[in-house]
């Protein structure tokens, strides 16, 4: 990983960034508060975005962790006009849910020319995705020395592939995996056939040993060999493997993304926009990818990555071709009723 002056200028952002920082300091703005997911991802974000942004602009970035589901926090902050955050890390489902409630985001003023190299669907006028993760599968090599499941139909086949199974205790993505297991083609997933998905889940329910509830728990379960096979988030599986877990990752499933949004009415929106634009830079996204193993959304980031580094990332061409887009808009419209049904299903 390296950054040359030529590469910096190639982004077309250097002058605009310094200009925005100068205007912010003239207004007495010397820091930004950014809410992110905390833990290991926050460390990677600081190395790739916060600290370099501060070094280049003189604007200090203070990071705070938000709730696992930050939608209520974000909504209350804007409703009360109490801006404890200037920018917030939200996924596309969070954006869809907040959009149903009203106007909660500042426009980013990102032009189509600036996003020509981005994966489709990763930018809008209110959200900029920078971190792609996969919802995929991992299995223990020792449990399946001759090869484990290759797809979700295999995962559901408890006779051919017996073992201790894990699934995420959340309907979003889990219902999609159930449909893939039942033979639904990836391109035909949406709108979800909810009845068929729950019927598929019912066939596996008695063979799910652990319904995991957090990425940290999922990593620990894979590291400690408490599960033989499980759905997982790509970065969490990579973390387990880096810690010594002898697991195979199967790039088959879905992809989703985390990104930045600015709360409507934020008094520091201009410098927050400059920060979001800074996170679009391919060199910065590449740095984040190395430390997080989440995939960049700007395809030019791969110019800054070695083949060995790219091989672990969801958005590298070989891996990305086997993943389907998670439809956040559909979930934004249906999540509440399905969440209630999912909890009832687990209690049956």
DSSP 141: T
171: left (phi over 0), alpha (psi -120 to 50) or beta: alpha
Mean of pLDDT values over 114-138: 97
Question: Among 339, 327, 337, which Cα is nearest to 93's?
Answer: 327
pLDDT in tens, 299-329: 999 999 999 999 999 999 999 999 999 999 9
Query: Residue 213's Cα: distance from chain center in Å?
Result: 16
d(CA 115, CA 282): 11
What residues pair up with 31 in beta bridges, in sequence order? 60
Query: Residue 89's Cα: distance from chain center in Å?
Result: 9
Q: Residue 10 pLDDT more than 50?
A: no
Q: Are 296 and 277 in contact (CB under 8 A)?
A: no
Written as six digits, the tokens of 327 are 């439809």
Q: Give phi and psi for 211, each to the nearest 5.
A: -95, 100
Which is more confident, 39 or 154? 154
CA distances to 36, 151, 179, 281 from 52, rounded to whole Å, are 17, 40, 43, 12
pLDDT in tens, 110-121: 999 999 999 999
Question: How many Cα neighbours within 13 Å face the side chain of 100?
Answer: 16
Q: Are 245 and 222 in contact (CB under 8 A)?
A: yes
Question: Among 173, 181, 205, 210, which Cα is nearest to 327's?
Answer: 173
Peptide bond into 320 cis (omega under 30): no
Helix axes 92-99, 328-347, angle to 10 degrees: 100
Whole-number average pLDDT of the chain: 93
- Position 325 scores a pLDDT of 97
- Position 2 scores a pLDDT of 40
Please compute Rg for the chain using Cα positions: 21
- Position 27 scores a pLDDT of 81
d(CA 348, CA 336): 19
Q: Residue 14 pLDDT more than 90?
A: no
What residues pair up with 105 in beta bridges, in sequence order? 263
Q: Are 108 and 263 in contact (CB under 8 A)?
A: no
Q: Residue 24 pLDDT more than 90?
A: no
Question: Among 69, 330, 100, 91, which Cα is nearest to 197's?
Answer: 330
d(CA 290, CA 2): 12
- The confidence band for 11, taking pLDDT boundaries of 50, 70 and 90, is very low
Report the largest interatomic distance among the alpha carbons of the chain, rounded to a whole angstrom. 68
Question: Among 6, 1, 254, 280, which Cα is nearest to 118's?
Answer: 280
Mean of pLDDT values over 339-344: 95
DSSP 298: B
Query: Residue 279's Cα: distance from chain center in Å?
Result: 15
Mean of pLDDT values over 119-140: 97
d(CA 101, CA 314): 31
pLDDT in tens, 38-75: 988 999 999 999 999 999 999 999 999 999 899 999 99
pTM of the model: 0.90
Written as six digits, the tokens of 84 are 């404890």
- Position 40 scores a pLDDT of 86
Domains and CATH numbers, the chain: 5-132+257-320 (3.40.190.10), 134-255+324-347 (3.40.190.10)
pLDDT in tens, 236-294: 999 999 999 999 999 999 999 999 999 999 999 999 999 999 999 999 999 999 999 99
- Position 20 scores a pLDDT of 80
d(CA 296, CA 261): 17
Mean of pLDDT values over 12-33: 76
Written as six digits, the tokens of 163 are 């073992």
pLDDT in tens, 183-230: 999 999 999 999 999 999 999 999 999 999 988 899 999 999 899 999
């Amino acid at each position: 990983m390296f950054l040359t002056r030529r590469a910096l200028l190639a982004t077309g952002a250097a002058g605009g960034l310094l200009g925005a920082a100068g205007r912010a300091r003239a207004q007495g703005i010397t820091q930004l508060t950014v809410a992110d997911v905390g833990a290991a991802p926050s460390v990677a974000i600081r190395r790739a975005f916060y600290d370099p942004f501060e070094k280049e602009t003189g604007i200090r970035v203070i990071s705070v962790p938000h709730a696992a589901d930050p939608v209520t926090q974000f909504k209350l902050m804007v409703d009360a006009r109490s801006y404890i955050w200037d920018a917030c890390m939200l996924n596309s489902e969070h954006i869809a849910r907040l959009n149903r409630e009203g106007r909660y985001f500042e426009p980013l003023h990102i032009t189509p020319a600036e996003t020509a190299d981005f994966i489709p669907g990763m930018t809008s006028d209110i959200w900029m995705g920078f971190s792609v993760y996969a919802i995929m599968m991992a299995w223990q090599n020792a449990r399946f020395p001759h090869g484990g499941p290759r797809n979700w139909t295999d995962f559901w086949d408890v006779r051919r592939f017996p073992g201790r199974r894990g699934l995420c205790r959340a309907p979003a993505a889990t219902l999609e995996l159930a449909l893939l297991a039942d033979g639904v083609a990836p391109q035909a997933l949406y709108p979800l056939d909810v009845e068929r998905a729950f019927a598929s889940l019912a066939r596996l329910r008695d063979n799910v040993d652990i319904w995991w509830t957090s990425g940290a728990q999922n990593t620990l379960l894979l590291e400690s060999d408490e599960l033989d096979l499980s759905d997982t988030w790509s970065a969490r599986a990579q973390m387990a493997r880096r810690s010594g877990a002898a697991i195979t990752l199967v790039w088959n499933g879905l992809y989703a993304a985390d990104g930045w949004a600015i709360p409507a009415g934020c008094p520091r929106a201009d410098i927050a926009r400059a920060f979001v634009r800074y996170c679009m830079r391919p060199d910065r996204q590449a740095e984040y990818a190395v430390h997080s193993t989440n995939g960049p959304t700007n395809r030019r980031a791969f110019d800054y990555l070695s083949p060995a580094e790219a091989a672990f990332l969801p958005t590298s061409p070989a891996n990305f071709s086997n993943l389907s887009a998670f439809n956040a808009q559909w979930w934004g419209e249906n999540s509440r009723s399905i969440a209630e049904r999912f909890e009832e299903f687990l209690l049956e």
